[in-house]
Amino acid sequence: MNAAQLVEGTPLEAGSPFDMRINLGKDVPETDVRSALQHGDVGFLHSFTTGSCVDGPGVRLVAWTTSCMFRCRFCHNPDTWTLSNGMPVAIGRAVDELRKYANGLKVMNGGLTISGGEPLMQKPFTTKLFAAAKQLGIHTALQSNGFYGAKLTDEELRDIDLVILDMKAFTPAQHDRVTGIRDNKPVIEFCERLAALKRPMWLRYVLVPALTDFDEEMRAIARFGAALGVVERVEVLPFHQMGRYKWERLNIPYDLEMTEPPSREAVSHAVEIFRSAGLDCP
């Protein structure tokens, strides 16, 4: 199969990122994969979803990329960890999709969000799609774990109107516990660089009972976020089990099987921690 071809019978759009999609790019030759990663003429996407009101301001078209370097224990979309689970989509096809919704997105004060997976695992494709969106006058948001933020040049950052940074933890020990990667310095440094460049950010924090609901971690993130001076909003996302079936079907050991969503009180408590640092946390 040519890397630019869509996978027969699989629509580019999904009802939701919680749809399970695997092996859509498994037949793409290795040389085409390498070329795609180097040049960004083709991206590997779980899907596009339309009409999202939770992935940035207004109503969003969201491109869900595949491949991620983290292994978050609470990940809702482990099918996006592997590049070859994504559908190969030529950049021109992705831009056509964007153009289709351009007017509607503008009217609804929304835009394009590129999420994942981790979009910066496919940085050339991600930045090409953002550049095309800016040419169409569309607001752009990158939803990222921030680990590869240093790969973005200042010029590429100018095409990104908003960075929605998923903060997994503040201390290296907790970062390791949550993601399997101890070194979170690149994430911290990316945030500091965005602050120095005065680029707007949102922070997101997934609240998981007995895994991330630690006051000290949240206070440290809140203090750090407030000091950046560019964080417009913090979103506390209550853990849920909508992705559990994916872990089971992918045969990946899932140790949050018995974990319940946090209580309303626990969510309010977390929100209060961010608010008391002076951050806007709806």
Least Å from the CB of residue 104 to ligand SF4: 27
Q: Is 68 in the site for ligand SF4 (CB under 6 A)?
A: yes
Q: Is 259 in the site for ligand SF4 (CB under 6 A)?
A: no
Q: Residue 115: beta bridge partners? A: 64
Q: Is 55 in the site for ligand SF4 (CB under 6 A)?
A: no
22, 59, 61, 75: residue in contact with ligand SF4 (rule CB under 6 A): 75
Question: In this complex, which beta carbon is closest to ligand SF4, that of residue 227 or of residue 242?
Answer: 242
Count residues contacting ligand SF4 (CB under 6 A)? 11
> How far apart are the C-alpha atoms of 134 and 229, rounded to whole Å?
25
Q: Is 80 in the site for ligand SF4 (CB under 6 A)?
A: yes
Considering only residues 145 through 184, tell me which ones interact with ligand SF4, judged by CB under 6 A: 145
Sign of torsion over alpha carbons 276, 224, 169, 130: positive
Residues 6+ apart with CB under 8 A from 156: 127, 130
Structural contact between residues 121 and 147, judged by C-beta atoms closer than 8 angstroms: no
First to last CA, the chain: 47
Question: In this complex, which beta carbon is closest to ligand SF4, that of residue 49 or of residue 77?
Answer: 77
Least Å from the CB of residue 208 to ligand SF4: 11
Question: In this complex, which beta carbon is closest to ligand SF4, that of residue 86 or of residue 132?
Answer: 86
Least Å from the CB of residue 147 to ligand SF4: 8
Is 107 exposed, middle or buried (CB count within 10 Å of its CB: 0-12, 13-18, 19+)?
exposed
116, 124, 146, 262: residue in contact with ligand SF4 (rule CB under 6 A): 116
Q: Is 79 in the site for ligand SF4 (CB under 6 A)?
A: no
118, 161, 213, 217: residue in contact with ligand SF4 (rule CB under 6 A): 118
Residues 6+ apart with CB under 8 A from 226: 277, 278, 279
36, 45, 72, 221: residue in contact with ligand SF4 (rule CB under 6 A): 72
CB neighbours of residue 249 within 10 Å: 12
Least Å from the CB of residue 187 to ligand SF4: 10
Q: Is 187 in the site for ligand SF4 (CB under 6 A)?
A: no
Q: Is 34 in the site for ligand SF4 (CB under 6 A)?
A: no
The residue ranges that bind ligand SF4 (CB under 6 A) are 68, 70-72, 75, 77, 80, 116-118, 145
